[in-house]
Chains A and B, each alone.
Chain A
Amino acid sequence: MEKTFYNIFKTFFKVGTLLLGGGYVILPLLQSELVDKRDWVDNEELCEYYALGQSVPGVIAVNMSAFVGYKLMGFWGAVAAMLGIVAPSFLAIVIIAKMLDEIVGLKFIQSIFWGVGIGVLMLIFLAVKEMWMKSIVDKYTSWVFFFVFILSACCKVSPGILIVAAIFLGIFRESKRRVEAAKVAEISEDDES
């Protein structure tokens, strides 16, 4: 299939429609649509974009689509891929949101929502568990977790402020490492002379 704006949009629209229960399933979906059926990118590239998508803020599925779209057709490719991945989700919610207000008052629906609310809590715990295993690897990361958790849960500090603080901490940590590395290099030079 040719890499036109419409075809890219259509492909990502299909993937967006099939994307159920969280964005993590996007990788296998894109593998089947882009690698197997269309041969637009190879598997290795796709996995790299998946990793890249996670290192950019925002919704992973959207980031990854934009990366792939850009690779396929530059700026407009990225626009087409993003519109495609977002559109099904947007349309579905706009239709449901209108109905939801009418049915949410029903007692039957309320008891479903009560149960599903607990299910959502479970999904959040599972997501935390998964993130924990990937991110808490040493003393430093444990302290970051601890402080952010306390400040957010107990002091209600805005998540935006905490993330910005974490970004600065990351910069500070790397600067410190560079200064120390420079010092070590200096000392070893002194030893040699």
Chain B
Amino acid sequence: MILAQLFFEFFHIGLLSFGGGYATLPFLYHIAEFRHWYTAKQLTDMIAVSSITPGPIGINVATFAGFKTAGIIGSMIATASIVLPSFILVLIISRLLEQFKQNTYVRSIIYTLKPAGCALLAAVGVDMFVNSTNVLGMFLLVILFVLSLIEKRDPLFYLGISALAGIVAGLLGWVS
């Protein structure tokens, strides 16, 4: 039963998430809240690990979430079902490439989906900020933000800095 639910949840993420790897996150946080397969805290840890392992982050997190939910079978089902809609759509679109590119309905839908996807991710960001950030975290966030204003860097740069900050804060006993 849980495997069927996994298939359904991840298939619909693959079908409806729009705007890249991070676009899957609003769906995954929603699952954390309503299905209780994993907690929001665990998901944040999964995203952190996924950012420093090979592969697209959307696939990493799906594999991770599937594993947390139902072990190795769960991770296989979650990964397969998140890519299945892509596969079907790409096969269809590849055959109708010119119509797809020129269709004004398709353009209008994409034009609407882009700000919608952006808003969903922004809502996740605000939620995480409100729920999980203490004064120390806010301080770290401001530092990272200032660094990004000075020069835009690779994602790994920010994760490296924040991991170091975590270690230092841990040694000083600031992280409980």
Provide the residues of chain A in CB contact with B89, threshold 8 Å. 56-58, 63
Within the assembled complex, what's the spacing in Å between the Cα atoms of A23 and B145?
22
- Given contacts A121-B141, A152-B120, are A110 and B115 in contact (CB under 8 A)? no
A159:B63 contact, CB within 8 angstroms: no
Among A82, A120, A135, A164, point to the contact of B114 (Cβ < 8 A): A135
Provide the residues of chain B in CB contact with A18, threshold 8 Å. 54
Provide the residues of chain A in CB contact with B121, threshold 8 Å. 124, 127-128, 131
The proximity string for A residues 132-163 relative to B, scoring 1 for CB distances below 8 Å and 0 otherwise, is 10111000111011111100110010111011
A90:B63 contact, CB within 8 angstroms: yes
Q: Which residue of B lies closest to A61 (CB)?
A: B56
- Given contacts A59-B21, A160-B16, A174-B104, are A144 and B48 in contact (CB under 8 A)? no
Q: B6 at the A/B interface (Cβ < 8 Å)?
A: no
Within the assembled complex, what's the spacing in Å between the Cα atoms of A82 and B87?
8
Within the assembled complex, what's the spacing in Å between the Cα atoms of A166 and B113?
6
Q: Which residue of A lies closest to B161 (CB)?
A: A119
Within the assembled complex, what's the spacing in Å between the Cα atoms of A94 and B67?
7
How distant is A101 from chain B, measured CB to nearest CB, in Å? 9
Count chain B residues whose beta carbon lies closer than 8 angstroms to a beta carbon of A. Answer: 102
A19:B54 contact, CB within 8 angstroms: yes
Within the assembled complex, what's the spacing in Å between the Cα atoms of A169 and B112?
7
Q: Which residue of A lies closest to B156 (CB)?
A: A21
Q: A170 at the A/B interface (Cβ < 8 Å)?
A: yes
Among A21, A121, A167, A169, point to the contact of B129 (Cβ < 8 A): A121
B83:A59 contact, CB within 8 angstroms: yes
Provide the residues of chain B in CB contact with A173, threshold 8 Å. 108, 111-112
The proximity string for B residues 58-87 relative to A, scoring 1 for CB distances below 8 Å and 0 otherwise, is 111001100110001001100100110111
Provide the residues of chain A in CB contact with B19, threshold 8 Å. 54, 131, 135
25 pairs of residues in contact across A and B, judged by CB atoms under 8 Å: A16-B54, A22-B21, A22-B22, A54-B19, A57-B14, A59-B82, A67-B94, A82-B86, A86-B79, A89-B53, A90-B75, A114-B169, A116-B163, A116-B166, A117-B162, A118-B137, A123-B158, A124-B121, A126-B155, A131-B19, A132-B122, A152-B119, A167-B112, A170-B111, A171-B108
